[in-house]
């Protein structure tokens, strides 16, 4: 066994690399800002890149059971396959990709983890150098013999792999050394062969060397000594140029020998598929369990390398059996390679995770498929059958209220002291809430009679060729909600009425309440055999991972804090998000407002339920009302209701002793707090709302009809009211039965989104052997485009 330590020292190759490395390769830093503040011990910075050290400790034994536990990994091996390290032309190294990998490894190393690399690349690097030397030698000889400046076309002989490895080892290590030096990290090279693992003394030597390097905070870089390995087998990749046949097993063996917590295997595919990648039915396997090999069909190997996915799976299962968790992922994709390693360690859904612990229930992918098929069956039911399901669910809410309230009591007891008062209020259920829910569900049942399949437009295109536009479900909805168990039956009823499949992800603070409410929803669905249409996600899926299931989910609806909505809008990739990130609702009190109405409207809008998204947050008062009895009544009422007042800049300028000046005019308090600001006119109030509002709900209080209509027409919000509380912005109060949320979007649905907002349309064309060529200039048919009567909607 050959061991070579290459730490910081002068090297001509490194000296040539440094200007390039400093200028281009290390301008990115992305993983460190994902570490939670509570885990931060201290921050160190090198080359303007911060690194965060987190306290890590774990006794090696069993592998991690869930992805979310990977963030606790202390000792990590990263295996870089040939396709990751080499360029697309298979001659030379992918320098940009390697720089990104080194950056991620450095970030994790500086967090206090112990990182090791198993790398290929010596043969490719040596091939590049030897080709250059051969070309240079040939050009000199040809120039001497021909005496001409123009050289003949030169043929490059096939290069022997072991010679390439010998020529490339030093350069490869110098490259790694130069890259790691940018992060003040020392790297050490260890070359091994298979024989080193068969000799007990050599194994002990290797183990001792690696432990000593890790103790000194050095990153060991391990690779096979391709300069002395046996020749590659016939028909191997690249005609024997790159010999990495044992790298997968080497990484697994090293991980187990060193009692590593995590082995990350990077290749040129996203992970393990249930059939060869690229085939029509190939699906990425999120979690792979021992014994699942029979359900997988392995395809061909990557463009380079001696292994293949089958070899990786065998090595991964061997490491898993030895107590090391394994993830196989893509290290070549330009959109993910820059953060693939840190994403895996953070527990994100990247690649295929190998686990020995099978979940008790279905995976979220399986739940998505069940919701899809169940939703399609639901959409084919008769309207009366869907209404019957909703009526049954409404009856269950009242019949089973004792069991529901008992489960809710458990949630409240567990949340006591952990949740703020507004969130506790949202979490709480009561008999009156359940009764109101039941009434709302029956309204939905009544309005769902002709929702799906309703004809919106009929057109006669030509004789015996008629076109219809009809309503259909959107597909599969993902609804994510916090601290609101009453949201579950509301959303379930709307999904049933609209024929949509539904995935529900509730907050853990409402676990007991959500579980029993979901069971009741499935019991109601069972009366017509569509139980699987509504699924409750109980696995440890992170919200961000759910938002990536773009092939299973058609619409995401967040119900919760503004931060939750913003996070989901940011995380959703290719899936529309319906909702609002903030509920900054305004009320403008005009100079012609009624004294009797103002205090009632302000009290109801702010104090009736301050945690709601439609609660009043900013009160705009006309300047002429300052120092009037009306203004005094408003302030006195707010004082009695214990509302904390924040003064806007203009309001503060009118007062000698003002309340605390507002930090931002764009604030959703969600509590008994209110911003008051002064405006000079209705136009200034509108301008303020457009600048600082969230397009949710805004109100004018005035007796002047002309002023009111001007406000109603010019305020660009989802809901605009005249002499009415902001709290009316609600699906139940609008007569929609319930809502899945309030949308401030300008596409598809806006305001409280009820049944209509969960439908889209499709076109049905009925003809008799019609072809487009018949309608050409010399064809026999002409377009008619006649509007036909539409069947009347049932409003009973």
For residue 63, give the nearest of 221, 218, 287 by alpha carbon: 287
The pLDDT of residue 64 is 92
Give the pLDDT confidence score for residue 59 in this predicted structure: 56
User: Looking at the predicted structure, is the pLDDT value of residue 413 above 90?
Assistant: yes
pLDDT of residue 60: 58
Dist CA 287 CA 386 (whole Å): 36
- pTM listed for this prediction: 0.74
**Confidence (pLDDT) at 93:** 79
Least confident segment among 36-50, 373-387, 756-770: 36-50
Question: In this predicted structure, what is the pLDDT of residue 196?
Answer: 77
Residue 308: its pLDDT value, please? 67
Q: What is the mean pLDDT of residues 651-679?
A: 89
Q: What is the mean pLDDT of residues 726-754?
A: 86
Q: 3-class SS at 199? A: coil
Q: Considering only residues 397 and 89, tell me which one the structure prediction assigns the higher pLDDT.
A: 397
Give me the percent of the chain exceeding a pLDDT of 70. Answer: 84
How far, in Å, CA of 402 to CA of 427, rounded?
A: 16
- Nearest-angstrom CA–CA distance, 190 and 209: 9
Q: State the pLDDT at residue 299.
A: 55
- Judged against a pLDDT cut of 70, whether residue 21 lies above it is answered with no
C-alpha 260/C-alpha 643 separation (Å) is: 56
Cα 663 from Cα 250, distance rounded (Å) = 58
**Is the pLDDT assigned to residue 226 strictly greater than 60?**
yes
Greater pLDDT, 54 or 588: 588
Candidates 100, 135, 95; CA nearest to 13 is 95
Question: 438 φ, ψ to 5°?
Answer: -60, -40
The pLDDT value recorded for residue 439 is 93
What pLDDT is recorded for position 58?
54
| pLDDT at residue 133, as a whole number | 75
Radius of gyration of the chain (CA): 33
Q: How many CA atoms lie within 13 A of 633 on its CB side?
A: 15
Is there a contact between 76 and 180 (Cβ–Cβ < 8 Å)?
no
Q: What pLDDT does residue 735 have? A: 84
Question: How many CA atoms does the CB half-sphere of 664 hold within 13 Å?
Answer: 8
User: Structure tokens of 745?
Assistant: 């979007």
Label residue 747 exposed, middle or buried (CB < 10 Å: 0-12, 13-18, 19+).
exposed
Q: Which of 142-151, 193-202, 220-229, 414-423 has the lowest mean pLDDT?
A: 142-151
Higher pLDDT, 763 or 93: 763
Structure confidence at residue 211 as a pLDDT band (50, 70, 90): very high
DSSP string, 211-258: HHHHHTTEEEEEEE-TTTSPPPPTT-GGGGT---TTHHHHHHHHHHHT
Indicate whether 66 pLDDT > 50: yes
Residue with tokens 């804090």: 561
3-state secondary structure of 465: strand
Three-class secondary structure assignment of 639-696: HHCCCEEEECHHHHHCCCCCCCECCCCCCCCCCCEEEEEEECCHHHHHHHHHHHCCCC
DSSP, res 93: B
pLDDT tens digits, residue range 287-306?
888 877 666 666 555 444 44
**Where residue 48 falls among pLDDT bands split at 50, 70, 90?**
very low
Measure the CA–CA gap between 591 and 595, rounded to whole angstroms: 10
pLDDT digits (tens, 9 = 90+) for 346-387: 998 899 999 988 877 788 888 999 999 999 999 999 999 999
pLDDT of residue 144: 57
Q: What is the mean pLDDT of residues 109-114?
A: 94
Among the ranges given (333-347, 458-472, 513-527), the one the predictor scored with the smallest mean pLDDT = 333-347
pLDDT above 50: residue 406: yes
How does residue 423 score in pLDDT terms, banded at 50, 70 and 90?
confident
Q: Which two tokens stand for residue 394?
A: 């409404």
DSSP structural state of residue 336: T
CA 692 – CA 707 distance, rounded (Å): 21
Contact 214, 220 (CB under 8 A): yes
Beta pairing, strands 325-330 & 262-267: parallel
b/e for 639-677, b at 16 or more Cβ within 10 A? eeeebebbbbeebbeeeeeebeebeebebbbbebbbbbb
Interatomic CA distance for residues 139 and 135, integer angstroms: 6
Q: CA distances (Å), 658 to each of 627, 647, 676, in order?
A: 14, 7, 11
Q: What is the pLDDT of residues 503-538, one digit of tens each?
A: 999 988 999 999 999 999 999 999 999 999 999 998
Q: Who wins on pLDDT, 309 or 400?
A: 400
Cβ burial, residue 257 (10 Å; 0-12/13-18/19+): middle
Dihedral of the alpha carbons of 130, 132, 138, 143, in degrees to the nearest 10: -160
**What secondary structure letter does DSSP report for 514?**
H
- In the chain, % helix, strand, coil (3-state, to 5) comes to 40, 20, 40
3-state secondary structure of 183: coil
């Amino acid at each position: 066994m050959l061991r070579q330590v290459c730490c910081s020292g002068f090297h001509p190759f490194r000296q040539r690399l440094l200007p390039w490395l400093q200028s281009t390769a290390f301008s990115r830093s992305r993983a460190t800002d994902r570490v939670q503040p509570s885990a931060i011990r201290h921050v160190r910075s090198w080359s303007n890149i911060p690194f965060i050290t987190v306290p890590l400790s774990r006794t090696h034994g069993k592998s991690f059971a869930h992805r979310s536990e990977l963030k606790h990994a202390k000792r990590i091996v990263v295996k870089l396959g040939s396709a990751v390290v080499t360029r697309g032309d298979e001659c030379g190294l992918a320098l940009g990709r390697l720089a990104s990998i080194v950056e991620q490894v450095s970030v994790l190393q500086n967090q206090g983890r112990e990182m090791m690399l198993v790398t290929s690349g010596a043969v490719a690097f040596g091939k590049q150098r030897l080709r250059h030397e051969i070309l240079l030698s040939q050009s000199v000889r040809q120039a001497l013999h021909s005496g001409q400046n123009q050289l003949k076309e030169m043929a490059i002989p096939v290069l022997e792999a072991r010679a390439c490895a010998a020529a490339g080892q030093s350069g490869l290590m110098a490259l790694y050394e130069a890259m790691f030096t940018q992060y003040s990290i020392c790297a050490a090279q260890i070359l091994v062969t298979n024989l080193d693992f068969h000799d007990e003394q050599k194994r002990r030597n290797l183990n001792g060397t690696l432990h000593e390097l890790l103790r000194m905070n050095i990153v060991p870089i391990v690779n096979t000594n391709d300069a002395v390995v046996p020749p590659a087998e016939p028909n191997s990749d690249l005609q024997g140029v790159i010999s990495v046949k044992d790298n997968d097993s080497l990484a697994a063996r090293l991980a187990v020998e060193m009692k590593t917590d995590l082995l990350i295997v990077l290749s040129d595919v996203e992970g393990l598929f249930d059939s060869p990648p690229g085939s029509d039915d190939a699906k990425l396997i999120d979690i792979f369990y021992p014994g699942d090999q029979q359900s997988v069909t392995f395809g061909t190997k990557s463009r380079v390398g001696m292994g293949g996915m089958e070899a990786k799976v065998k090595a991964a299962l061997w490491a898993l059996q030895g107590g090391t968790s394994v993830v196989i992922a893509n290290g070549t994709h330009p959109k993910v390679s820059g953060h693939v390693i840190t994403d895996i360690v953070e527990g994100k859904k990247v690649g295929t995770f190998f686990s020995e612990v099978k979940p008790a229930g279905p995976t979220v992918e399986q739940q998505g498929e069940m919701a899809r098929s169940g939703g399609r069956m639901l959409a084919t039911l008769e309207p009366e059958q869907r209404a019957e399901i909703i009526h049954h669910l409404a009856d269950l809410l009242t019949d089973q209220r004792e069991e529901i309230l008992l489960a809710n009591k458990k949630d409240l007891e567990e949340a006591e002291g952990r949740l703020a008062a507004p969130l506790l209020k949202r979490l709480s259920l009561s008999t009156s809430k359940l009764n109101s829910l039941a009434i709302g569900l029956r309204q939905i049942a009544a309005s769902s009679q002709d929702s799906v399949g309703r004809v919106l437009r009929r057109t006669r295109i030509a004789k015996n060729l008629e076109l219809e536009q009809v309503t259909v479900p959107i597909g599969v909805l993902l609804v994510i909600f916090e601290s609101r168990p009453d949201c579950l039956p509301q959303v379930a009823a709307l999904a049933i009425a609209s024929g949509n499949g539904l995935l529900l992800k509730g907050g853990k603070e409402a676990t007991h309440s959500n579980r029993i409410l979901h069971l009741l929803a499935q019991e109601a669905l069972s009366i017509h055999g569509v139980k699987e249409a509504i699924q409750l996600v109980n696995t440890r899926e992170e919200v961000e991972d759910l938002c990536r299931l773009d092939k299973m989910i058609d619409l995401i609806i967040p119900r919760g804090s503004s931060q939750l909505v913003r996070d989901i809008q940011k995380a959703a990739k290719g899936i529309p998000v319906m909702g609002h990130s903030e509920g900054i609702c305004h009320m403008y009190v005009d100079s012609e407002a009624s004294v009797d109405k103002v205090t009632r409207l302000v009290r109801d809008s702010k104090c009736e339920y301050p945690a709601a998204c439609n609660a009043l947050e900013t009160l705009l008062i006309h300047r002429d009302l300052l120092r009037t009895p009306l203004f005094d009544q408003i302030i006195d009422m707010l004082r009695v209701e214990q509302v904390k007042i924040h003064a806007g800049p203009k309001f503060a300028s009118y007062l000698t002793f003002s309340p605390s000046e507002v930090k931002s005019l764009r604030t959703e308090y969600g509590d008994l707090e209110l911003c008051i600001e002064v405006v000079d006119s209705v136009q200034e109030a509108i301008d303020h709302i457009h600048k600082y509002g969230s397009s949710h709900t805004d109100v004018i209080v005035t007796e002047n009809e002309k002023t009111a209509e001007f406000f109603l027409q010019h305020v660009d919000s989802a809901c605009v009211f005249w002499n009415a509380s902001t709290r009316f912005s609600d699906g139940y109060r609008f007569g929609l039965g319930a809502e899945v949320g309030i949308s401030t979007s300008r596409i598809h649905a806006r305001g409280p989104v009820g049944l209509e907002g969960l439908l889209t349309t499709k076109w049905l064309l009925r003809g008799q052997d019609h072809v487009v060529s018949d309608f050409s200039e010399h064809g026999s048919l002409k377009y008619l485009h006649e509007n036909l009567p539409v069947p009347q909607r049932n409003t009973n």
